[in-house]
Amino acid sequence: MKENNTLIVYGDEAKEWLDFALWNMKERMGWEFPEIIVNWLFEFVAEVGYELKPYPRDTLWCWDNAYVNGGWGLIEDRGWSKKEAKELYEEGDLLFFDEASGYYVESL
């Protein structure tokens, strides 16, 4: 339990919460992350955890915000070459980069 009454869950429990949040986004707004990013998100939250806020709406809002304002997408939309994106990933400036699909995650 963190100072502001939030709870962080890990592993399968974190994956279950993420699954619920992604389903909820799709039901409410019709939003979906690309499958390659969803797969990475599941691995990411299992390792770093999923923060549950005191109010469920606040927990879900974090993923709404990541969808709308997060730095993620296709490298071609940013004008990056695969080489540039790979260098950014290796330098730690990207959280995720898939060379085959061209998808990246800069921030959530």
How far apart CA 79 and CA 45 sit, in angstroms, is 28
Q: What is the pLDDT of residue 60?
A: 85
What are the structure tokens assigned to 103, written together?
């998808």
Q: What is the pLDDT of residue 22?
A: 92
Q: What is the pLDDT of residue 27?
A: 95
Q: What is the pLDDT of residue 4?
A: 66
Q: What is the pLDDT of residue 52?
A: 86
List, in order, residues 6 or more apart from 21 with CB less than 8 Å away.
59, 60, 63
Residues facing 104 on adjacent strands: 73, 97
Inter-residue contact 54 to 6 (CB < 8 Å): yes
Q: What is the pLDDT along the chain (108 residues), one digit of tens a residue?
A: 555 677 889 999 999 999 999 999 999 999 989 999 999 999 999 999 888 888 888 888 888 888 888 889 999 999 999 999 999 999 999 999 999 999 999 987
Q: Where are the domains of the chain?
A: 1-69, 72-108
